[in-house]
Structure 1
C-alpha cells in the first residue's frame, strides 16, 4: 500500500498504543488508556468491516452462568475460582451498564431461565438438590439467592414443569451496545481503522513493529484483544469456537420474554423485537466447530429448528429470517488470559463465551498492564 505523506503522518506516526481488535475488550481497553493518558495517540485496528469475532454476533445475554454451568465448572475449578468467575461477570456487566447506560445498550432484567428437557430429569434433580449449596456459594456476589425454582409460564413442550431461574440475569441489544461503544471511543479521540488485518508483530525492546496485510508501522505498545482469533498471533492456550445463531421473522403476539438456557448452556434463546433468537449446538460436533471460519452447518441448523418446532414454539407457526455465526475464544479453563507477552506487548483473550459479562473489565485490566 502506497501511503501519502499525509496518511503516514496523520494515522501511522508517533503511535503510543495500538490495539488489535475493536470488540468489547479492545474498545474498553482503548477508553481506559484514554482516561489514563489524555494526550496519547491511540489506534485500534480491526480486520473486519465491523467488530469481527463475537462482539456484534452474540446472543446478547448479560449472564453469569446457569446453575448446570456452575455445577459443571465446579468439576474443573475450585469453589473459590468459580466464585471469582461469577463475581467478575457480575462486576463486568455493572461496568458496561455504568459506562454506556441501560438505554444505550437496551438492557432489560427479565431473568434467565434454565429449562430441562423431560429426558434430562437426572440433570434437573442434581441441580435442584444443589440449589441451596450454589446459592450459599454465590451469596457474596448477589447478596441474595441468585437461583430460584420457577414454574413454566410460557407453555414450552417436552420440559420439566419447573425452571431453575437466575433472578439477576439480563439481556441487551448487542448492536446498540457496540454502536454506542464505537461512538464513545471516537468521541474520545480514539482512531479505529476497519478492514486492517494484523499479520505479525515484533517487539524490538523499545517499540513494536506491526505488519498488516497492506503496510508496516511502529507503535510504542501493542495490545492484542482478538479473543477467538488469538491463535493467529499468539501461542496461548486459547482455541476458536464457532457459535451458530438464527432468528425468526417477527411473530405476532409473542409472549415469551427473558433469556433461556438448555443442556448445560449449549443451547440458548431469547426474545428480541417480537422474534425468537436461538443459538448453540456446538456440542453436536466439537471438532468441526473448533474453527475461526464463519459459517453455518446443516447439522446445527436442523437441531435449532427442531428445538423451535418441538420445545419453544410447538403450536406457533414461524419462519426463519436469517442465520449467522460468531467466533468465541475458549480453553480448558474458564479464566480469561490477561498477561504481558513481552516488554511492550500484552493480551486479553479467552473470554469463554462471556464477552458481554467480562469484556469491559478485561479491557480495563489489559490497559493496566501497559499504562
Structure 2
C-alpha cells in the first residue's frame, strides 16, 4: 500500500513507542506511557477492524480466582506466589476502574460463585476444607473473609446444595470497557491505525525496524502485548488458548445474577441483559484449543448447550442467539511476563485468562519500564 507524504509524516515518522495490538493491556500501556511522558508520540498498531484476542471476546469477569483454581495452583505455586497473584488481580481491577470509571464499565459486584456438580463432591469437600486457609491467606488484601458457603438458590440441577462464593468478585461490560479506553487514549493524543499487521521486528540498538503488511517504518521502542499471539514474533513461554462462548436470547424474568464457575474454572457463565453468557470447555480438547485460529467446534459447543439446558436452566426452553471465540495466552506459570526482551523491545503477555483483572496493572508496570 502506498502512503502519501502527509500520511507517512502524521502516523509513521518520529514514533517514540509503537504498541502492537489495541486490547486492554495495549491501551492501558499507551495511556500510562502518555501520562509519564506527555511529549511522546505513541502509535498503536491493530491488525483487526476491532481488537483481536480476548479483550472484548471474554465473559467480562472481574475475578480473582475461584477456590478450586487456587487449590489447583498450590500444585505449582507457593502460598506467597498465590497471594501475589491475587493481589495483582485486585490492584488491576482497581486501576481499571480508575481509568474508565464504574459507570462506563457497568461494574457490578454480585459475587463469584463456584458451583460443584454432584459427581465432584470430593473436590467440593477438599475446597470446603481449605476455605479457612485461603480466607486467612487473602485477608490482608480484602480485609475480610471472602470465601463463604452459599445455598443453591438459583435451582441449578445436578449440583451440590451449596456454592463456594467469593463475595468480592464482580462483572463488567467489556465492549464498553474497550470503548472507554479508546476514548481516553484518543483524548490524550495517542494515535492508532487499524488493519495493519506487524510481521517482523528488528532491534537495531538505536531504533526498531517494524515490517507490516502495509509498509516498513521505524520507532524508538515497541511493546508486544498481544498475549496469545505474542509467540508469533517473540520466543516466550506463552501459548495460545482458544475459548468458545455462546449467549442466549433474552429470557423473561431471568433470576440468575452473578458470575459462576464450574470444574475449576474450565466452564463459566453469567447474566447479562437478561441473557445467559456461557463459555469454556477447553479441557475437552486442550491440544485442539491451543491455537491462534478463531472458530468453534461441535464437541465443545454441544457440551456448552448440554450444561445450559440440563444444569443451568433445566426444564426451560432457551434459544442460542450468538456464538464466538477468543484467544487467551497461558503458560507453565500464571505470573505474567513483563520485561525488556532486547534494549528497545518490550513485552507484557501471559494473562492466563485473567486479562480483565490484571490487564491495567500489567500496562502500568510495562509503561514504567520504558
TM class by shorter-chain length?
A: over 0.9
Separation in 2 of the partners of 1:39 and 1:354? 32
Deviation at 1:169, TM superposition (A): 0.1
Inter-partner Cα distance in structure 1 for 2:101 and 2:322: 29
1:247 aligns with 2:247: yes
Cα displacement string for residues 36-76 of structure 1 (whole angstroms, at most 9, x for unaligned residues): 11111100001111110000101000000000000000110
Whether 1:17 and 2:17 are equivalent positions in the alignment is yes
- Deviation, 1:284, is 0.2
**Corresponding residue of 1:276:** 276
User: 2:159 maps to what in 1?
Assistant: 159
Q: By how many angstroms is 1:78 displaced? A: 0.5
Partner of 1:318: 318
SS for the counterpart of 2:165 is: strand
Does residue 297 of structure 2 align to residue 294 of structure 1?
Answer: no
Give aligned pairs, total: 370
Superimposed CA distance per residue, residues 68-113 of structure 1 (whole angstroms, 9 cap, x where no aligned partner): 0000001100010000000000000011011111010110000000
TM-score of the pair, normalised by structure 1: 0.99
Q: Tell me the equivalent position of 2:188.
A: 188
Which structure 2 residues correspond to residues 328-347 of structure 1 after superposition, within 5 A?
328-347=328-347
User: 1:124 deviation in Å?
Assistant: 0.4
Q: Which residue is 1:113 aligned to? A: 113
Per-residue deviation, 1:156:
0.6
RMSD (Å) for aligned C-alpha atoms: 0.6
Deviations 1:273-299 (A, max 9, x none): 000000000000000000000000000
Q: Distance in 2 between matches of 1:341 and 1:75?
A: 29
1:149-207 Cα shifts (integer Å, max 9, x gaps): 00111011000000000000000011111111111111110011111100001111000
Residue 150 of structure 1 corresponds to 150
Q: Displacement, 1:360? A: 0.1
Alpha-carbon distance in 1 for matches of 2:194, 2:170 = 30
Aligned residue for 1:207? Answer: 207
Cα-to-partner distance string for 1:290-341 (whole Å, 9 max, x where unaligned): 0000000000000000001110000211000010000000001000000111
Question: In structure 2, what is the equivalent of residue 357 of structure 1?
Answer: 357
Deviation at 1:349, TM superposition (A): 0.3
Q: Distance in 2 between matches of 1:146 and 1:194?
A: 42
Q: Secondary structure at the match of 2:186?
A: helix
SS of the residue corresponding to residue 358 of structure 1 reads helix
Classify the secondary structure of the residue corresponding to 1:154.
coil
Q: 1:82 aligns to what SS in structure 2?
A: helix
Report the TM-score when normalising by structure 2.
0.99
User: What corresponds to 2:221 in structure 1?
Assistant: 221
The aligned residue for residue 128 of structure 2 is 128
Distance 1:212 1:361 in 2: 28
Distance 1:228 1:50 in 2: 16
Q: Which runs of 5+ in 1 are unaligned?
A: none
**Aligned residue in 2 for 1:306:** 306
Moved more, 237-246 or 135-144: 135-144
| Secondary structure at the counterpart of residue 114 of structure 2 | strand
**C-alpha distance in structure 1 between counterparts of 2:58 and 2:160, whole Å:** 27
Match of residue 265 from structure 1: 265
CA distance in 2, matches of 1:195, 1:79: 43
Distance 1:315 1:96 in 2: 39
User: Which residue of 1 is the match for residue 45 of structure 2?
Assistant: 45
Runs (4+) off by over 4 Å = none
| Alpha-carbon distance in 2 for matches of 1:98, 1:10 | 31
Partner Cα separation in structure 1 for residue 140 and residue 287 of structure 2:
37
Aligned partner of residue 22 in structure 1, secondary structure: coil
Deviation of 1:2 after TM superposition, in Å, equals 1.3
- In 2, the alpha carbon distance for the partners of 1:217 and 1:368 equals 25
CA distance in 1, matches of 2:162, 2:149: 6
Correspondence list, 1:76-115, <5 A: 76-115=76-115
| SS of match in other structure, 1:104 | helix
Q: 1:172 aligns to what?
A: 172
